[in-house]
Structure 1
Amino acid sequence: MAWPLDHSKARILISNDDGFYAPGLQVLVRIALSISDDVWVVAPETEQSGAGHSLTLRRPLQAREHQPNWYSVNGTPTDCVLLAVNLLMKDKRPDIVLSGVNRAGNLAEDMTYSGTVSAAMEATILGVPAIAFSQEVIDGEAADWTPAETYGPDLLRRILKQGFPSDTLLNVNFPPVPANQVRGIRVTNQGKRKNGDDIMEVIDPRGAKHYWIGHMQSMRPYAKGTDLQAIDEGYISVTPIKMDMTDTVTLTELQRAFSAESANG
């Protein structure tokens, strides 16, 4: 990919994990159409939140065309991007993939579960630049999409002008405040927080036990420079995520240890 990308001629693929009819998908379509007319949508037909980077292998998939270049797929976000890039758009691959806008943030360890981020991961693996977008919400309140609607187009233009490495995706989160209260943009590290999921046990009318997995418990204060701190303080968070997860420090230490063991043997 040559940067800067001429966004006026860019072919954009949009997917998500909230499903084909999700309001956040419509927000992202409007953001994409503000910079290009060549916009495709290939999204799951139903919500796939928490699907992670899962791939459907045990049953066939269907891609239903709703209007030209708009498809729903009975699979995961990963399935959608894979089908779009390798089949539906094979005559001219997308220049960039945008995933979201997810209802609720994808911060810290959320990224390992997120279908929104995983759609961007799949695009990156396929050699297509990708950005995941999420709108943080306050529990129990309706999503306020104005931060994404207001700042998304300019943010996207700036990213396409700057560019980023081929083995990296960008994870963008908007804070849960009205657009006029957004304090700016921060480029952040991936945060860490206590995995304090509350598991609720319930009994159905036939006496069988069922379990609900609750939300992660955010433990303040957040580390400086993280996505969690940025969102908590009313900033848009942009986090570069590298696909190569090799721990290079440990790699060197293990190589040294096994080399020494071989020499002593």
Structure 2
Amino acid sequence: MNILISNDDGFQAPGIVALYEALKDLGRVEVVAPEHNNSAKSNALTLHSPLYVSQASNGFRYVNGTPADCVHIALTGLLDYKPDLVVSGINNGANMGDDTIYSGTVGAAMEGYLFGIPAIAFSQVEKGWGHIDAAAAKARELVQQMMAQPQVAGSPWLLNVNIPNQPVAHIKPLRVTRLGRRHSAERVITQTSPRGETMYWIGSAGAAKDDSDGTDFHATFEGHMSVTPLHVDLTEHASLPAWTKRLSGAHA
């Protein structure tokens, strides 16, 4: 089994170190991760400045770019083989509901998926790395479960996983969930710079809006690890006939 690990918190983050330690004996496992924190970079690729790959003393390789850059470079030239699985995380905080649109953790996993490789994004529900070893153990458990089934060698798939910050014995069995929804983000924060200019800081994510039964929010609130299958097709298929009718008289 060849496994590529990346993340968005940076190659020195406790989450990626714990994930590597949990998976390193499952096969050939390599880490290619961002040099610095790249949270909320989604699927961004760096196109207008050069990227460099360096190697840390522990063997991890790191890139002065985004999470998607790391996986893209690994798959298009850095590695001399195609991984069987791309794993991203473990993220410092949840990636549930609308978070997945912005998440660099999900972006790294999705880059593998776009290259036709099965991929999993792992996150802890709360920030702070509490019980990170337990989260890593649950991540290993899921990876082993997938390795034991034909899915890993079959068509590519993408899973978004959120793990409660609890000891292993307290984490309830996984639930397959759908994405919930959040309220709009909180107001932007403004400050004045030493030069008298106005600075803007993006506000915090909104609270859960749809956290009903079946969502990732609901499952993790009840203490379960949530597993949400994702796909990339953004087409609103149900509305295609309506839009065709609305625009049937439109002229170029």
TM, length-normalised to structure 1: 0.85
Verify the 8 A CA contact 1:148 1:174 in the aligned structure 2.
Answer: yes
1:145 has 2:145 as partner: no
Equivalent residue in structure 1 for 2:159, among 150, 170, 173: 170
1:123 to 112, 116, 123: 112
- The corresponding residue for 2:31 is 41
The answer as to whether partners of 2:18 and 2:133 remain within 8 angstroms in 1 is: no
Separation in structure 1 between the aligned mates of residue 193 and residue 58 of structure 2, nearest angstrom: 45
**In structure 2, what is the equivalent of residue 155 of structure 1?**
142
**Deviation, structure 1 residue 15:** 0.5
Counterpart in 2 of 1:11? 2
* 1:228 paired to 2:211: no
Larger displacement relative to structure 2 (227-236 or 198-207): 198-207
Distance 1:199 1:59, change over 3 A: same
Partners of 1:170 and 1:148 in 2: CA distance: 16
Which residue of structure 2 aligns with residue 207 of structure 1? 196
- Bigger drift between 215-224 and 74-83 goes to 215-224
Distance 2:218 2:68 in 1: 29
Match of 2:76 in 1: 86
Tell me which of 166, 180, 188 is aligned to 1:191.
180
Checking the alignment, whether the CA contact within 8 Å between 1:147 and 1:175 is kept in structure 2 is no
Paired letter, 1:151: K
Structure 1 CA distance, aligned partners of 2:83 and 2:129?
Answer: 33
Shift, 1:254, TM fit:
2.9
Equivalent residues in 2 for 1:245-256 (5 A)? 245-255=234-244
Name the CA shift for 1:67/1:131 in 2 (closer, same or farther; >3 Å). same
> Is contact 1:189–1:226 with CA below 8 Å preserved after alignment?
yes
Find the counterpart in structure 2 of residue 112 from structure 1.
Answer: 101
**Counterpart in the other structure of 2:41:** 51
Gaps of 5+ in 1: 1-9
- Preserved CA contact (<8 Å) 1:167 1:244: no
Aligned to 1:21: 12
Q: Which amino acid aligns with 1:76?
A: T
CA distance in 2, matches of 1:95, 1:120: 13
Look up the SS of the partner of 2:97 in the other structure.
Answer: coil
Aligned AA (2:174):
I
Q: Deviations over 1:14-62 (max 9, x none)?
A: 11100011110111102221422x1111111111011111010001111
* 8 Å Cα contact 1:168/1:243 also seen in 2: no
User: Within 2, Cα distance between the matches of 1:27 and 1:220?
Assistant: 32
Secondary structure of the 2:86 match is strand
Letter in structure 2 aligned against 1:19:
G
SS at match of 1:250: helix
Partner amino acid, structure 1, of 2:82: R
Aligned residues: percent identity? 40
Structure 2: gaps of 5 or more residues: none
Contact 1:173 1:231 in 2 (8 A): yes
How many Å apart are 1:246 and its aligned residue? 1.5
Contact 1:167 1:242 in 2 (8 A): no
Please give the alpha-carbon distance, in whole angstroms, between the structure 2 residues aligned to 1:12 and 1:142. Answer: 23
Aligned equivalents of 2:117, 2:124: Cα separation in 1? 23
Query: In the alignment, residue 62 of structure 1 is paired with which amino acid?
Result: Y
For residue 67 of structure 1, report the CA deviation from its aligned partner: 5.7
Bigger CA drift: 178-187 or 71-80? 178-187
Q: Distance in 2 between matches of 1:20 and 1:142?
A: 15
Paired with 2:238 and 2:10, the residues of 1 have a C-alpha distance of 40
Letter in 1 for 2:76: N
Following TM superposition, by how much is the alpha carbon of 1:99 offset from its aligned partner in structure 2, in angstroms? 0.5
Query: What is the CA RMSD across the aligned residues, in angstroms?
Result: 2.2
